Structure 1
Amino acid sequence: MDFKLDEEEIDPFAQDSNNDNTDEDEFDPLGFNDETEKEDSDQVAYESPEPEESEDVYDDEEDELEEASLVLEQQRVEIAPFNSQEEDNFAYAEAVRAYYEEKNYEQAIEKFSEAIKNEKKQTKGKQSAANEIVAKSMYWQAEAYVKTQDIPKAIKTFESLVKTCKEHYLTISAQRRSEILKAKHS
């Protein structure tokens, strides 16, 4: 095959014919003229156009996320750390804080003992009314004994819980913990 170039293409003195665009003409950075539907491959794209508001998908997604976050924050439900009976027993509340927040297990043991005494005093020995706080206090007191490595007292407290609060849901856990501790430390 033999290719020949037009004289225009080989003439070094020929004028550049791409001077059709003036500053007043609309510049199409992609080289396509919408009015004539012709593509000018010689036209250079200097920079991409800014996306229009409707094309800005990322901002729309960000707005949707912000709206969803606001809805979730408005629906946030505050959960009280203690029920009303537990709030009334100040020693119980202090014991829970000492155990969970401060990790001060010695203080937690003392405060759980105080909470048990207070609850038994308030209910005058009626087991059903005192059952909830007494059971929880005994269980977490036993766990505090485990944390302080006083395993014999932990076992004794778990067993006392099983005998004292027979119908409470923590008795099953207390019985299991007692058996595990006995097996490990016998």
Structure 2
Amino acid sequence: MTILHIDSSINGNTSASREVSGSIVNQLKGALWGEEVVYRDLAANPLPHLTLEAFADTRTLDEFMAADTIVIGAPMYNFTVPSQLKAWIDRIVIAGATFRYTENGPEGLAKGKRVIIAIARGGIYSEGSPTAAFEHVETYLRGVFNMIGIEPEFVVAEGVNLSPEHRVAAIENALGETIRLAA
């Protein structure tokens, strides 16, 4: 089994999404045997924004297709995903490779993969909150992965910038969810 671990936060060791995505990978490694982990830090080694020339480079797509499980650390920046993560997504959502157009709409071709996404949000954006309409990380990533045939799973640490106490509680709650995911 191959796990592709993607982190995209610019916050290094203080990143909540990195802490949670790392825990997910560790839980998966503990529950499985013989797995290989491929790690990509998109903040430390960003992909350039998509150009026609870059589009021809299939290494990122090949790495994605070779993975059985993909774990993504996705912080919320300005209500959506970091541009580094968007550049990675632009390399894996490819017509004819991970989806195709049909008369009945798009059909995902990357079925059979497990995608687990660790989201960290500074404020409260969950359903029912006054700012729920501004949440474009989970909704965007769900749409992207559904397009290519995958139903992603989410672990959310929410309100990490409200107070030090709330940060600890939000991360501890998310870390508890990682145990459930590995079962």
Smaller-chain TM-score bracket: under 0.3
Q: Which structure has the higher relative contact order (CA within 8 Å, separation 6+)?
A: 2
Larger radius of gyration: 1
Q: Which has the higher strand share?
A: 2
When the two structures are superposed, what TM-score results if normalisation uses the length of structure 2? 0.26
Q: Which has the higher helix share?
A: 1
When the two structures are superposed, what TM-score results if normalisation uses the length of structure 1? 0.26
